[in-house]
């Protein structure tokens, strides 16, 4: 009898799953398909061809995919290769607390025509739960003074290292990375800074005082360890994260994912001091053959003409940096910006940084096993943005960088207790 097993059947989305099929005829080729529906009913699918061994087993930890959405030995390939039925759609979990994504895994005979899969019953199937929050994690809605966001606290007595989580130009409140970090032992504030509740839809400036208020809010919380906090940030959020590290001595560990080393689009203001952005060069915007906008060279003219005083003075930061770069980023020239920032640190005799650069990875580096989004629409720009990335190396970068982010944060936020002899 054919059996399909997956262990664990219910887990956090950053945990690997061991998938096996048994009871097959020796050396039979089968199709394995994964599918899920997001919270709006949008469907995502992936599939791969596998050949059973002489014992009639397919073990995804050992067996290579012969074709389909990926090739080779990739135990979690069915998850990270999920693609939307509607073109150019990103998989996003909104309600992280109350429900998981349900992933169906189905097994079909390989002689089945692909056009017939939708109307054919699988030989065997199962459903997995993929959660964004661990049992016992608490979510606290944050209106506190001017602040808007959600604070996630790990289970247990605490105290826990504190993190502020910042996303980029899409705006709103995005919680799935913060809930996962809390599930891994970090008190994490998912912080909205525009296009959410009473915050401005399209701000004319970035007020760093708002982010300083967030730092102080986190450090006042009785469950937060202190004396320093960490930042995890991407894209426009990484510009802000870098500025926070420069101006706020309480920020001691900053993760910058595919961000700039200068100010993007709108001015920054801190305690009345205005810092101007670099100008975007509209003529440097590229539209590729699929009609997708690529912005990675849009600041190069201004950056080349600018003096070093136009770059953020990263050498003034007291904390440590982890730069994470996707070398196939089509939205920002992030590898060049990170290299320039680290050179600036080196010139000032600083060694407080680590640079992880991933060939084939795009702009939207997410927690591991998340499907790559190569392009999507940002409503404020009325454009489909090409984020870049090749599916398999992007997945590898997500898995490796997630582990490195957690190691970096623990190293610089959790004090080492040495025994007194």
- Which of the following is catalytic: 363, 386, 394, 412? 363
Cβ contact 402:417 at 8 Å: no
Residue in the structure block whose two tokens are 């001017």: 146
**274 or 419: which carries more pLDDT confidence?**
274
- Residue 351: the pLDDT is 96
- The 3-state secondary structure of 391-416 reads HHHHHHHHHHHHHHHHHHHHHHHCCC
User: What number is the average pLDDT over the span 19-36?
Assistant: 97
User: What number is the average pLDDT over the span 270-287?
Assistant: 88
Rounded to two decimals, the pTM is 0.95
- Residue 306: the pLDDT is 65
pLDDT at 283 over 90: no
- Which of the following is catalytic: 65, 81, 183, 235? 235
User: What number is the average pLDDT over the span 5-13?
Assistant: 98
End-to-end CA distance of the chain: 63
Cβ contact 255:191 at 8 Å: no
Q: What is the pLDDT of residues 338-368, one digit of tens each?
A: 999 999 999 999 999 999 999 999 999 999 9
DSSP secondary structure string for all residues of 155-214? SSS--EEEEEEE--TT-S---HHHHHHHHTT-EEEEE--SSSTTS-SS-SSEEHHHHHHH
Other C-beta atoms closer than 10 Å to the C-beta of 223 total 17
How high does pLDDT run on average in the chain? 94
**199 or 307: which carries more pLDDT confidence?**
199
* DSSP conformational letter for 78: H
Dihedral in degrees, nearest 10, Cα atoms 312, 381, 281, 325: 50
**In this structure, what token pair is assigned to residue 343?**
């050179």
Cis peptide, bond prior to residue 227, ω within 30 of zero: yes
Q: What is the pLDDT of residues 158-206, one digit of tens each?
A: 899 999 999 998 899 999 999 999 999 999 999 999 999 999 998 999 9
Cβ contact 27:53 at 8 Å: yes
Pick the closest to residue 414 from 198, 162, 206 (CA basis): 162
Share of the chain above pLDDT 90, in %: 84
pLDDT at 420 over 60: no
- Which of the following is catalytic: 329, 334, 386, 412? 329
Cβ contact 412:225 at 8 Å: no
Q: What is the pLDDT of residues 312-325, one digit of tens each?
A: 999 999 999 999 99
Dist. CA 166–CA 163, nearest whole Å: 10
235 assigned to active site: yes
* DSSP conformational letter for 118: G
Angstrom CA distances, 360 to 251, 314, 344, 388, 390, stand at: 31, 27, 26, 8, 5
> Which residues are registered as beta bridge partners of 125?
106
310 assigned to active site: no
Residue 307's pLDDT band, with cuts at 50, 70 and 90, is low
pLDDT at 236 over 90: yes
> Which residues are registered as beta bridge partners of 19?
6
**202 or 247: which carries more pLDDT confidence?**
247
334 assigned to active site: no
- Residue 88: the pLDDT is 86
Dist. CA 373–CA 389, nearest whole Å: 8
Q: What is the pLDDT of residues 73-132, one digit of tens each?
A: 999 999 999 999 988 899 999 999 999 999 999 999 988 777 777 778 999 999 999 999
Share of the chain above pLDDT 70, in %: 97
Dist. CA 118–CA 121, nearest whole Å: 8
């Amino acid at each position: 009898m054919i059996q399909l097993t997956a262990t664990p059947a219910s887990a956090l989305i950053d945990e690997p799953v061991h998938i096996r099929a048994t009871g097959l005829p020796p050396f039979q080729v089968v199709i394995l398909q994964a599918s899920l529906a997001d919270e709006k009913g949008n469907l995502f699918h992936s599939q791969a061809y596998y050949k059973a061994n002489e014992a009639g087993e397919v073990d995804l930890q050992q067996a290579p995919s012969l074709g389909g959405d990926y090739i080779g030995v990739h135990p979690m390939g069915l998850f990270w290769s999920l693609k939307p039925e509607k073109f150019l759609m990103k998989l996003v979990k909104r309600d992280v607390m109350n429900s998981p994504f349900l992933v169906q895994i189905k097994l079909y005979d390989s002689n089945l025509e692909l056009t017939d899969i939708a109307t054919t019953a699988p030989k065997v199937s199962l459903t997995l739960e993929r959660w964004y929050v661990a049992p016992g994690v608490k979510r606290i809605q944050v209106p506190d003074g001017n602040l808007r966001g959600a604070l996630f606290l790990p289970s247990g007595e605490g105290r826990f290292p504190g993190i502020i989580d910042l996303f980029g130009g899409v705006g709103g409140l995005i919680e799935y990375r913060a809930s996962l970090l809390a599930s891994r032992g970090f008190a994490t504030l998912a912080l909205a800074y525009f296009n959410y509740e009473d915050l401005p839809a399209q701000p004319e400036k970035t007020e760093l005082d708002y982010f300083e208020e967030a730092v102080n809010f986190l450090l006042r919380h009785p469950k937060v360890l202190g004396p320093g906090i960490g930042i995890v940030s991407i894209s426009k959020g990484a510009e802000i994260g870098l500025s926070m590290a420069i101006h706020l001595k309480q920020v001691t560990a900053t993760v910058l994912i595919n961000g700039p080393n200068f100010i993007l689009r709108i001015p920054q203001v801190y305690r009345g001091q205005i810092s101007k952005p670099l100008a975007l060069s509209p003529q440097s915007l590229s539209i590729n053959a699929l009609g997708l906008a690529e912005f990675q060279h849009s600041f190069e003219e201004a950056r080349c003409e600018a003096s070093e005083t136009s770059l953020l003075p990263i050498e003034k930061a007291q904390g440590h940096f982890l730069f994470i770069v996707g070398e196939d980023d089509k939205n920002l020239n992030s590898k060049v910006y990170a290299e320039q920032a680290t050179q600036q640190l080196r010139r000032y005799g600083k060694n407080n940084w680590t640079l992880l650069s991933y060939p084939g990875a795009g702009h939207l580096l997410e927690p591991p096993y998340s499907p790559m989004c190569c392009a999507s629409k940002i409503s404020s720009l009325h454009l489909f943005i090409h984020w870049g990335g090749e599916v398999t190396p992007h997945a590898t970068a997500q898995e490796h960088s997630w582990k490195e982010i957690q190691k970096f944060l623990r190293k610089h936020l959790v004090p080492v207790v040495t025994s007194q002899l």
